[in-house]
Amino acid sequence: MQINLSELFSSDGKEKTYTCNIEMEQFQTLKEVYEIAEKQPVRLTVRHTGERKLQADGKIRLSLLIPCDRCLSPVKVDFDLDVDFSADLNQSEEKRAEELDEQPYISGNYLDVDQLVRNELLLNLPMKVLCRDDCKGICNRCGANLNYESCACDRSTPDPRMSVIQDIFKQFKEV
């Protein structure tokens, strides 16, 4: 959804609160696509501080389905994000994008709420997601989810420092 900011420029100090629905159904990063499980409308309060400068703050609340890093089961991750930014609309779009160090969410006199949500999510994605603290993961041989089933695969991993000695034993077995 796009918000037309030009109505705020009629007088200094003018303030307006916007309630905008998040239109995107998925959140996409460079490598992954996550489903949005729940989303609430974004509330933004935007103030014109004078000379086409804006100050905004608001709340973003949504939940993503992110795969567990060990067993790949989907995990619902809740986000409760506070938004606080300022923008000088006298600057060129390139200069504003350079200052923000992210994808621009203000283009001309319009604020793209979905792009703002994407930027905030990118900054707040967790480094590691686990379905539970004691997640056992999946078997690297057969792919069984070890949280729900067991397998008979040999999980012993030889010490890589002993690989030279093991090669010697293999040579004697061939004789």
In this prediction, residue 174 carries a pLDDT of 59
Could you tell me which residue, 161 or 42, shows the higher pLDDT? 42
Q: pTM score, two decimals?
A: 0.76
Looking at residue 11, what is its pLDDT? Answer: 77
Instruction: Please state the domain extents for the chain.
Output: 2-124, 136-175
Check: CB of residue 120 under 8 Å from CB of residue 83.
Answer: yes
Question: For residue 60, which of 103, 124, 126, 7 has the smallest C-alpha distance?
Answer: 124
- H-helix or E-strand spanning residue 165: helix 163-174
What is the DSSP code (8-state) at residue 142? T
The stretch 92-106 carries a mean pLDDT of: 67
Q: Is the pLDDT of residue 90 over 80?
A: no
CB 130 within 8 A of CB 66: no
pLDDT digits over 16-27, tens only? Answer: 899 999 999 999
Residue 67: pLDDT band by 50, 70, 90 thresholds? very high
Q: Which of 126, 96, 125, 119 is nearest to 42 (CA)?
A: 119
